Amino acid sequence: MALPQLRRHYNISPRLLFAAGLMALFVAIPLVYIFFRAVTGGAEVWMRLLQTRIWKLLGNTLLLTAAVTGGATLVGVSMSFLTERTDLPGRRIFRWMLAMPLAIPPYIGGIVHLTLLRPRGGAIPQLLAEWFGQPVPTPSPLGFAGATFILALFMFPYVYLLSGAAFRSLNASLEEASRTFGRSNWHTLWEVTLPALRPGITAGALLVALDVLAEYGTVALLRYETFSSAIFVQLSGRYDRSAAAVLSGVLIVIAIIILWGELRLQGQARYTQMDSQWRPAPPHHLKRWKIPAFLLTAFVVFASLLVPVIVLSFWSVNALLDPATLASIMRSGSQEFGDYIWNSLWSSALAAVIAVLLSLPVALLAVRYPNKLTQAISRFCQVGYAIPGVVIALSLVLLVNRYLPFLYATPLIVVMAYVLRHMPQAIRASESALNQLSPSMEEASRTLGRTSLQTIFQVILPLIVPGLLAGAGLVFLTSLKELPATLLLRPAGFDTLAVRVWIWASEGFYIQAAPAALLLVVASAAPLYFLLRREQIFR
């Protein structure tokens, strides 16, 4: 046969199928339970919510999701085009700086921009008022427009990274062919290049949409009500679990529709993959657009990376120099600053390790025995993407209270929420690591006298460890930033960096919150750096 067979027709190992099925069950229970609670929430609750809240929330949520997704796609694609396909000055350093906002949780970026732009008492309006001797109207960061701006600003890197990868994998011959058919550069971009990249761009856009649905901190901060923030309020303030369950049911339906689209695209994204004939397309010359393009890119980097980092650093220095503030940071109640760091690190790291270990049977099954059933199990285990933090929290509160009361009010329930929510990233990383491993490696090991167990430890694991670490890094990164589930599920006194930043900031103590926020950003930037280094272009 001319091509090496990548897929083998082994009989599926029943033990593996059992382990993967158990995993699917584990992720399914919270989802199914919330649906069950939503449907059996009672006609009276449904009627009340339908008459009052649901339509308003639905409108708000869909509007914000559409606006942020559109904005992030526009910014992400134009930034990846400028840095990958043109002679933009400084594109090498911009490539890094444009990816880095992933390390800044949107609510922290929101806090910084809010203090700068707030209509009353914001730094910039104050400065302008002093200069001109009277108040000058400035755009308010609150409400729909502000939330769209902040979320698009801190979520565009998803689209930027995925479309950038797609731009890079594009073969020069594609654009050359279009030019030989008489299309200009501009027409080629719109008629050939962007359509060819559509799977990559859309995949990034759908990830943004899922993240917007799940976002709590930013919308609460900027006082724009969505399903996530409404559920949070029902849960924490009014303690109305039936209403929360009904709202969650509606939210999950929207999220699952988006996730379904994203999963469908996953396979298609392949058609831009490189083959042996691949050669990179030459960069376009910007000519007179060079300076506007540079200024645009610089503005995006400034607003999404430099402003938050500089402001947080400035506040942190102020906080550390002021003995009273420093004392209140280092110790609040019985908690010390070191405790927040330690809590953040161990809960996120534990979630990362568990998620990767649990992803292995599912990934092994989906990669080695590809058929409809194993594919379905793998996709089912990725449903966590579509369950916002508040919904995971609600279902765990309900489930644990009823069936596992000993877990309630322990940090383990927080870890469990992280694992459930971020499992998809671990599964994708494990699947891609295993996909790069030819089955003939295992077969070679078997014919050289190793049992299947020895083969796993001596051949498979050493080869896929880098890929698994990447998956663990992603889970760690996103768990570190997780806010709503941590807020709702944490036992009293279990403060993480994210929680502490949120509490201080919502009480108005921005300077106090700054060192913790900065530390959170730095801790997220470290794994992000290593993840980006795995990509060729970031070496």
Write out the residues near another protein by the rule CB under 8 A.
1-2, 4-5, 8-9, 11, 438, 440-441, 443-452, 459, 462-463
Q: What is the 3-state secondary structure (H, E, C) of 74-109?
A: HHHHHHHHHHHHECCCCHHHHHHHHHHHHHCCHHHH
Q: Residue 539 Cβ, how far from another protein at the closest point, in Å? A: 16
Please state the closest distance from residue 203 (CB atom) to another protein, in A: 29
Shortest distance, position 457 Cβ to another protein, whole Å:
12
From the CB of 535, what's the least distance to another protein, in Å?
19
Contacts of 509 (CB under 8 A, 6+ apart): 328
At 243, list the tokens.
């209403």
- Residue 434: how many CA atoms within 13 Å on its side-chain side? 22
- Shortest distance, position 11 Cβ to another protein, whole Å: 8
CA 521 to CA 316: how far, in whole Å? 13
SS3 content of the chain, % helix, strand, coil (to 5): 80, 0, 20
- The answer to whether the Cα torsion of 239, 254, 471, 217 is positive or negative is negative
Instruction: Quickly tell me which residue has 């559109």 as its tokens.
Output: 70
- Least distance from another protein to the Cβ atom of residue 356, Å: 19
The nearer residue to another protein, 297 or 445, going by C-beta atoms, is: 445
Taking CA 25 as the corner, what is the angle to CA 252 and CA 422, rounded to the nearest 5 degrees? 55
Q: Which is nearer to another protein, 14 or 237 (CB)?
A: 14
- Choose between 124 and 373: whose C-beta lies nearer to another protein: 373
Write down the least CB distance from residue 88 to another protein, Å: 33
- With respect to another protein, which residue has the nearer C-beta, 173 or 458? 458
| 3-state secondary structure labels for all residues of 414-483 | HHHHHHHHHHHHHHHHHHHHHHCCCHHHHHHHHHCCCCHHHHHHHHHHHHHHHHHHHHHHHHHHHHHHCC
Minimum separation from the CB atom of position 474 to another protein (A)? 23
Tokens linked to 156? 């565009």
Euclidean distance between CA atoms 30 and 317, whole angstroms = 43
Q: Residue 4 or 237: which CB sits closer to another protein?
A: 4
Q: Compute the least distance from the CB of residue 39 to another protein, in Å.
A: 41
Q: Which is nearer to another protein, 10 or 406 (CB)?
A: 10
Q: Convert 392-417 to b/e letters by CB count within 10 Å (16 or more is b).
A: bbbbbbbbbeeeeeeebbebbbbbbb
Beta carbon nearer to another protein, 173 or 454: 454
- Nearest-approach distance from CB 14 to another protein, in angstroms: 15
Nearer Cβ to another protein (134/536): 536
User: Which pair of structure tokens corresponds to residue 195?
Assistant: 């359509």
**Measured from the CB atom, is 4 or 405 closer to another protein?**
4
Angle at 242 between CA 65 and CA 479, to 5 degrees: 50
In angstroms, the Cα distances linking 448 to 445, 453, 523 are 5, 14, 44
Closest CB to another protein among residues 277, 334: 277
Site of tokens 């409108």: 59
